[in-house]
A and B are shown apart, each in its own frame.
Chain A
């Protein structure tokens, strides 16, 4: 799998250092395990158990977790997961893209995002699954982030309470600030990542031409230099893989300096476009692992253009 150009290491020269480096290259996961075990051991060896502050802190952590589980999980999170799932399934991608996507009318998109954020999210944790849902369904980064911020921040009850308890100035400042922040941060995120967003929008719309191009390219490029056939792992953000972590077939994936869209067009199995990924793990192209059934159907997105 690691096909670094085979440099022969003279048996004796360099000795254990070289052999150690080779071992590290060959078995990265084992070394990660070792590092993790050592880190955990050091942590628990040196933790100041017995001091009042530390013990109290541990109890506080557990107490907070307990309170959270009781107050929030059943009433806030579980419904939110269902709603997010429903958004991901039932609300058509077109609808989301029409109102919140990168090509939607800007003011409307941010307005909708902010308002729905403040309406839908009463608890700050409900907004996270919803954000994930609309983001995957094609909402632009800007409106989605505006939604994410405005949910917990523009909480009418909290603002009224702030004004009453902490004074009118703080209350008004908080209200103005929260609304303003939602818009500004959304716009800034959209601006900073406009190229990624364009690639993501492109991959989600599934341009027919792009699809055909990718299909052609996939067959035209010889097998050896197309490393991502069935063994390539790719990251959902579409910016990598670097060859080692990706465990791809060849050492150097072309396109490391190219635009995300070019990469997505040439290596369809490797890149699914920035951000249209589905989670926090490296994973194979859809269909090649049992757990990807159903849930990871949105990857790669260009398939939907053919359906």
Chain B
């Protein structure tokens, strides 16, 4: 597939432009993404392992269904990097160690969509202000949804 792409890319004119745009995106996105992954791993660790933030803190902070626990869950989800499908075992583990259902939903809604590396990349495309607004919107809406869900399905 890569061979095909490269072959097509080296056609004159359009192909060259295509390659140039691709490279531009790569230059724009890769450093931020990889740096963000490194930082996320340092802070929160891989799924199942700890980073510098102890997991006891995390589960202590998100038990129950208070506004604070929902907010913290949404915030943690926003910063943490979740690969596809990995959020499910993580939430399972957290539910097991005392997380409420409301915060779990908040985590599920804010987690896969946002992560520290992706925030950095979006910032380079949209600008800091819009990125902050977007992240804040996601976190706030996830918090409220979590609270609502938690009150009906504790």
- Taking the closest CB of chain B, its distance from the CB of A85, in whole angstroms, is 3
Which one of A68, A170, A174, A236 lies within 8 Å of B34 (CB-CB)?
A68
A181/B20 in contact, CB under 8 A? no
Q: How many residues does chain B have at the interface if contact means C-beta atoms less than 8 Å apart? A: 74
Asked if A155 is at the interface (CB within 8 A of a chain B CB), the reply is yes
Residue of B nearest to A150 (CB): B113
C-alpha spacing A85/B17, complex, angstroms: 8
B108/A174 in contact, CB under 8 A? yes
Contact with A along B78-101 (1 / 0, CB 8 A): 000111110111011001000001
Asked if B62 is at the interface (CB within 8 A of a chain A CB), the reply is no
B17/A170 in contact, CB under 8 A? no
Residues of A within 8 A of B137 (CB): 185, 188-189
**Count of inter-chain pairs, beta carbons less than 8 A:** 219
Q: Interface size bucket, A side?
A: 35 or more
Contact with A along B93-129 (1 / 0, CB 8 A): 0010000010011001100110101100111111101
Asked if B64 is at the interface (CB within 8 A of a chain A CB), the reply is no
B138/A181 in contact, CB under 8 A? yes
- Taking the closest CB of chain A, its distance from the CB of B40, in whole angstroms, is 7
Residues of B within 8 A of A89 (CB): 14, 17-18, 21
Asked if A269 is at the interface (CB within 8 A of a chain B CB), the reply is no
Asked if A131 is at the interface (CB within 8 A of a chain B CB), the reply is yes
B108/A170 in contact, CB under 8 A? yes
- The contact sample of 14 A-B pairs, CB cut-off 8 A, is A57-B51, A58-B42, A60-B50, A61-B51, A65-B37, A67-B46, A129-B29, A149-B138, A166-B92, A166-B95, A166-B104, A177-B145, A181-B142, A280-B123
* Chain B contact residues, CB within 8 Å of chain A: 1-2, 5, 9, 14, 16-26, 28-30, 33-34, 37-43, 45-46, 49-52, 54, 81-85, 87-89, 91-92, 95, 101, 104-105, 108-109, 112-113, 115, 117-118, 121-127, 129-130, 133-134, 137-138, 141-142, 145, 149, 153
